[in-house]
Amino acid sequence: MVRVNELLKREIASWLETSGIIDRYALVSVTRADCATTLKNATIGFTVLNPDEEVRKKVFAELNRRKGEIQQAVSRNVILKYTPVLRFVFDRNIEEGDRVLAKIRELEEQERNENP
């Protein structure tokens, strides 16, 4: 399943590069693919490297609108018994990681200022 998930992730990321979504909105990154063991459904995590919530909503809507087109690209390029039905979810892990790193930097800066 790990291999299937990586193939799905790579194929969808490739589709994103050629689709024009990145050019129109922002940098969109596929962060994970979790395919069911039956190969009938797959959850695709993505993130948008743009702090504007409206842009994120537009990207999410665009991905859902073009879901059939993405599934066709997957079925052409990834040979599986079934082509999974894709479900897109916004992945906030990168944002959370950035937030934690910023907090750590802030604490380190405070410590340096208190103990010169």
What digits encode the pLDDT tens for the residues 40-55?
999 999 988 777 788 8
Residues 14, 47: Cα–Cα separation, whole Å? 15
CB 22 within 8 A of CB 98: no
pTM for the predicted model, two decimal places: 0.75
3-class state of residue 27 by DSSP: coil
Residue 95: Cβ within 10 Å count: 14
Residue 47: the pLDDT is 86
- Domains recognised in the chain with CATH numbers: 2-91 (3.30.300.20)
> Region 51-79: what's the mean pLDDT?
86
Write down the pLDDT at residue 75: 86
Q: Which DSSP symbol is given to 116?
A: -
Between CA 4 and CA 11 the distance in angstroms is: 11
**Model confidence pLDDT, tens digit, residues 76-91:** 888 888 888 999 998 8
Distance between CA atoms of residues 46 and 30, nearest Å: 4
